[in-house]
Structures are given as C-alpha cells and as structure tokens.
Amino acid sequence: MEIGLVVDAACDLPPAFLAEHGVEVLPIGIRLGERLLEDVRDPERTAAFYRERPDRRTELHAESRPLDAVGIETAILERWATRYDHLLCMTITAGRSPIYAHATRAVLTVGTRAREARRAAGLPLRWGATVVNSRSMFAGQGVLAWEAARLRAAGVSLGELELRLRSLAEHIHTYLVADDLYFVLHRAARKGDRSVNWASYALGNLLDVKPILHCHRDTTGPVAKARGFEAGARRLFDNLLAQCAAGLELPCVCLSYAGDLARLERLGGFAEFRAALQTQGVTLLVSQMSKTGAINVGVGSLSVAFAATRHQFS
C-alpha cells in the first residue's frame, strides 16, 4: 500500500525535509490587503515574503483563509487520489483552525470520485484517507510529521501508523515567543486564541515584556514572561534542554522563526542550544515559519516544539 503523508501549509518543516521524505502540502490561502496569495511552503516565496514585509500592522489588513471542504476535495482528486492508495493528513490544532473539520468532511465525501479517478487510471479501486489532528501548531506539527515519515520509511502498517500519531499528538508541546504582541492580540484572537489580552499587551509595550505561550492538546496559553525577545528565546532553549535531560518521547526538536534565519543564527544562546542537542543525539529541524503563521502571530516570532510524556515548564 502506498501511503501519502500530507500536512497543511502551517506545518513548519525545512523544505529539504519535505522534499526528501515526499511529504505533501495542503495549501492555505492568504489575503494581504487586496492581494490573494497561496501558502504552499515554497521556500523562495516564503523568503521573499519576509524580505518584502508586505504585511501591515493593522488588524484587518491580512488574514489566513484555509481551504473549505470542497477545496480540499479538489486538491485530493487533482493531486493525490491516483498517486497514493491511502492519504494520512495531519492538520494544525482543531482549536485554532477549521482545517481539521474541513479535511474530515472532505475525506468522508470524496471517496466515490477518488475511486472513479482510479478506475479511469487503471488502478485498484481500494482507496482511503485519514485525518489526524496534531493538537498543536507551527513547529509542533513538524514533530508529528517527522515521526510519520520515520514510521512510513520503517514499513509499519497503516493501522500502527495511525494509532501512533494519534497517541503522539497528546504529548506534543509547542512554545512560542512573539516579537510583536500586536499580531497575537488582534490576529490570533480572531482564530480563537486568548493568550494575550489588552492588559498584557499594554504591559508588554511599556516594559518590553514578552509572554511565553504554550500550545498543548488544542489549548494555548501563557506560562511565563521575559524581559525582551532574546531573553524569552533563551528561556525556551533552557527549558528544552532541561526536558532533554529528563527525557523526550522522540529524539527530534522542531524550531521555526518568522523571518530571516540569519537573525536566528545571531540570537544569543542558539549556537549553544544547537550544539547541546547534537551532543545528546537529538535531531534539530530548523525552518522559516510559514507565511500563514507569520500572518497570525507576527514577523519575528519563534516557535519550538518537542514531544514528552511528562513535561513542566521550568
């Protein structure tokens, strides 16, 4: 059975990883003023987005527009129905986006047309699809996809793969430090996020206090504060290294930055963090945050994720 792995465009993974492991991307629409764009995790377009900084610091200037069920059905039929015998689609948390609900609806209704397409192509009619809620976002989705690619390469059965991913989603922890709280307050709030209120936004602007946000099991909220973005990033790095010492569910950490990765390389503590993970045999996957993510949490945001059965922010 040929199993296809699909992530939505909000999943933060390096383009080289997606290409090497054949992970497909479900597009997400973006509106920037009067312009309509498509986020497909194309590295050149993503880099150009951050260079040009087309987003404006106004509440209604930009928004992400996930595909509806019909749009997802179309993507399945045009791209994957005749290429794979079974699709396994991993989505951003259902608590922040309708993609999971739309994808679930799509796979329930597309089956007949998918089999018709396979018949026309002379392929076996057996076809199916599964949707897994990552219960996380951004770099957190990357952790789930990393494990899915590893298990598929190892030849595990579809049933085992599905069970493992649903179980793993319960243990993914994603942290985020935003450089500009305006976007979390106004844009992310429209997606159901209440992590930053007016009081914390005003305090953050006055004293450069950055909340450290934690996403776990579809819920996002603040767990700590730091004076300045770099101090917040250092706290994330220290917290993760402490968790590595306590134990990870997977030897993989995903990190994404909403901007030029050269700034990440200059960020205090990052080089030591990367070296420490390498010493412990943990894979670090670094990527630019998706355009979708940047629209909702702002340019300059940092996301770090891992899986652990027992974890407490320190």
Say if residue 165 is in the same domain as residue 235: no
Residues whose CB is less than 8 angstroms from the CB of residue 301 and which lie 6 or more positions away in sequence, other chains included: 176, 177, 178, 179, 183, 257, 258, 289, 293, 294
In a domain? residue 314: no
- 205 vs 118 pLDDT, higher one: 118
Q: How many helices (H) and strands (E) does the chain have?
A: 14, 13
Query: How far is C-alpha 78 from the chain's CA centre?
Result: 24
Say if residue 113 is in the same domain as residue 210: no
The CATH number assigned to the domain holding 87 equals 3.40.50.10170
pLDDT confidence of residue 200: 54
Q: What pTM value is reported for the model?
A: 0.92
Extract the tokens encoding 257.
């930055």
Split at pLDDT 50, 70, 90, the class of 34 is: confident
Say if residue 139 is in the same domain as residue 198: no
Q: Do the Cβ atoms of 86 and 129 come closer than 8 Å?
A: yes
Give the domain extent around 285.
172-307
Q: 17: closest CA among 161, 171, 143?
A: 143
The CATH number assigned to the domain holding 209 equals 3.30.1180.10
Give me Rg for the CA atoms of the chain: 19
Say if residue 129 is in the same domain as residue 233: no
* Structural domains counted in the chain: 2
Neighbours of 50 (CB within 10 A): 21
In a domain? residue 42: yes
pLDDT digits (tens, 9 = 90+) for 274-306: 999 999 999 999 999 999 999 888 889 999 999
pLDDT digits (tens, 9 = 90+) for 196-248: 554 454 444 544 778 899 999 999 888 998 999 999 999 999 999 999 999 99
Say if residue 177 is in the same domain as residue 98: no
Q: Which amino acid is at 182?
A: Y
Token pair 């590893």 is found at: 150
Average confidence (pLDDT) over 127-148:
98
Say if residue 231 is in the same domain as residue 140: no
Say if residue 17 is in the same domain as residue 87: yes
Average pLDDT along the chain: 91
Average confidence (pLDDT) over 127-154:
98
